[in-house]
Structure formats: structure tokens, C-alpha cells
Amino acid sequence: GAVVSQHPSWVICKSGTSVKIECRSLDFQATTMFWYRQFPKQSLMLMATSNEGSKATYEQGVEKDKFLINHASLTLSTLTVTSAHPEDSSFYICSARVGDSNQPQHFGDGTRLSIL
């Protein structure tokens, strides 16, 4: 149980385009999902907390107009990287929590984004 699916697993696109990444909880409902970014040889960095039916909470330094997060249902959150540039190239990972706030997070397999 507690499977989180992320799509696509990798994407290559041209500079200036927008890219949408989907995060789905397959066998449970997730009121809260999280988005992380990871650069090579670095740890995960929390970008934002996504709550179903409300606006996402962004971490300091993360541009909310650049990284649009929508959590329209209890099983789906999306991250859209708008007007992507090469410096946005990274490994993006989502996670979701099952049950109460003390329960662990379960992570997707990540999306590797490369902007040319």
C-alpha cells in the first residue's frame, strides 16, 4: 500500500516552455502532498506543501509564479514549471502522507527535468 506515482519520469524540453508534473496517490487519499527539488549530489530541498482545496504554501526563496501547484483532488497534485529555463533543470520529487500528521511520507520516483 501507500503508492505514490509521478508522471512523467523524465522530460526534455526547450527553454521557455511550461512543463507539468503529476503526482498521484494510487491507493489512498492524501490531503497533503509535498514537492521537493534535488540538484546533483545534493539533498532534497522542500519547495512547497500542497493542501487539497487550498493554496500551496511555498518555502522561502521558491517563486510561486514560477512553480504553480494545484491540488484539486485528494489523489492528485500537479506542479507546473512555467517558462522553464536551463537553471530549472533538476530532479523533482513529490510525496504524500497517509493518515494523521505523525504518519510518514511516501515518495514518488521523481521526475528528471532537462531544459535545453
Partner 1 sequence: DAKTTQPPSMDCAEGRAANLPCNHSTISGNEYVYWYRQIHSQGPQYIIHGLKNNETNEMASLIITEDRKSSTLILPHATLRDTAVYYCIVRVADTGGFKTIFGAGTRLFVKA
Among 11, 19, 93, 96, interactor with partner 1 by CB under 8 A: 93
The residue to which cell 514560477 is assigned:
66
Q: What are phi and psi of 71, to 5 degrees?
A: -130, 75
Determine, following the binding rule CB under 8 A, whether residue 28 of this chain makes contact with partner 1: no
Judged by CB under 8 A, the stretch of 12-20, 64-72, 80-88, 96-104 that binds partner 1 is 96-104
Among 13, 44, 68, 74, interactor with partner 1 by CB under 8 A: 44
- Three-class DSSP category at 14: coil
Determine, following the binding rule CB under 8 A, whether residue 25 of this chain makes contact with partner 1: no
Among 6, 50, 78, 90, interactor with partner 1 by CB under 8 A: 6
Q: What are phi and psi of 86, to 5 degrees?
A: -55, -35
Determine, following the binding rule CB under 8 A, whether residue 60 of this chain makes contact with partner 1: no
Measured distance CA(14)–CA(107) in Å, rounded: 27
How would you class 84 by CB atoms within 10 Å of its CB: exposed for 0-12, middle for 13-18, buried for 19 or more? Answer: buried
| Residues lying near partner 1 in the complex (CB under 8 A) | 2, 4, 6, 32, 34, 36, 43-46, 49, 57, 91, 93, 95, 101-102, 104-110, 112
